[in-house]
Amino acid sequence: MFVWQDKKNRIKNKKQKPKTKDKQARFVDVQDAELLSKDQLKRIKQNRTCATRVSGKRKHKLLKRIRHQQKEKIRMDNPPPHPIDEFSAEDFRKLIDLNVVSYFLFSKYALPYLRLTEGSIINISSLVGNIGQGQAVTYCATKGAITSMTKALAIDEAKYNVRVNSISPSNIWTPLFDSYLKTCPESEEVKKGFENNQLLGRFGTIQEIGQACLFLAADATFCTGIEINMSAGAELNYANKNMRPKAS
């Protein structure tokens, strides 16, 4: 996810408070918007532009609209994981294109305008990029890359007052999760297992992720290179290590 703001809304001095009323996303690229609520999408929709790819001819059309609007932008990716046995090298390359190269390209082509407006980039990563996840080697690899890219880019862009941050969610209740559970014979038990991954014993919500994005975009003006774990403590108190197959 990438966000940038109007130059007129940047902080002029330490005493000046950031203006938050107008700091909603003005340019949106959504490939998988499951982490945004309907209300948030409605707020973003008015007087905004949407796109789904950033390459070739599409890039030039995209940049033309950005030049015209000179406002904020959001991009989101959230594909499901698969075990390594189900991935070929070509599959992995495609996932890298989707999860990493797409972020690189959006940053590359947006930064000339972000530098003019002293804007902000917000990348959606994943908690598993830091702590790992069973049966998701390739997915974890790409999410870890996003987190590392965020920190490195924050260093490079600080001289332009462009902030670069990331959000790493754990289990967030989305239509994807809902569809998956409907295919499970013991759906309630499976759902409870996912809920118990968090110390708070529940899924996160799309509204909570959206609120974190708005915080980083509008209010967190002294934050760059940080990663917010939206995880309800899923990474704490050890994890289930009893995953070895029983000896026959």
CATH number (domain holding residue 81): 3.40.50.720
Q: How far is CA 33 from the centre of its chain?
A: 10
pLDDT number for residue 65: 59
The answer to whether residue 70 is domain-embedded is yes
Least confident of 21-30, 124-133, 207-216: 21-30
Unique residue bearing structure tokens 């609209």: 65
Question: Do residues 110 and 66 make contact, with C-beta atoms less than 8 angstroms apart?
Answer: yes
166 beta partners? 123, 227
* Total domains present in the chain: 1
The answer to whether residue 198 is domain-embedded is no
Question: Do residues 8 and 70 make contact, with C-beta atoms less than 8 angstroms apart?
Answer: no
- Measure Cα distances from 246 to 240, 242, 243 in Å: 15, 10, 9
Handedness of CA 217, 35, 142, 94 (dihedral sign): negative
What is the C-alpha separation between 177 and 78, in angstroms, rounded? 12
The answer to whether residue 123 is domain-embedded is yes
The answer to whether residue 152 is domain-embedded is yes
Q: How many CA atoms lie within 13 A of 36 on its CB side?
A: 23
Angle subtended at Cα 153 by Cα 51 and Cα 78, rounded to the nearest 5 degrees: 40
Residue 90's domain spans which residues? 2-10+19-171+208-230
Question: Do residues 130 and 91 make contact, with C-beta atoms less than 8 angstroms apart?
Answer: no
3 token code pair: 């966000």
The answer to whether residue 93 is domain-embedded is yes
Question: Do residues 120 and 216 make contact, with C-beta atoms less than 8 angstroms apart?
Answer: yes
Cα-atom radius of gyration of the chain, to the nearest Å? Answer: 19
Least confident of 46-55, 97-106, 198-207, 224-233: 46-55
The answer to whether residue 194 is domain-embedded is no
Least confident of 24-28, 101-105, 144-148, 199-203: 24-28
144 token code pair: 């870890």
Least confident of 28-32, 65-69, 81-85: 28-32
Question: Do residues 57 and 78 make contact, with C-beta atoms less than 8 angstroms apart?
Answer: no
Catalytic residues: 139
Looking at per-residue pLDDT, the higher value among 18 and 137 belongs to 137
On the question of pLDDT at 30 being above 90, the answer is no
What is the C-alpha separation between 150 and 144, in angstroms, rounded? 10
217 token code pair: 């975009």
What is the C-alpha separation between 71 and 235, in angstroms, rounded? 36
What is the C-alpha separation between 9 and 18, in angstroms, rounded? 7
Percentage of the chain beyond pLDDT 90 is 53
The answer to whether residue 201 is domain-embedded is no
The answer to whether residue 179 is domain-embedded is no
What are the strands, taking DSSP E only, across 85-171? 120-124, 163-169
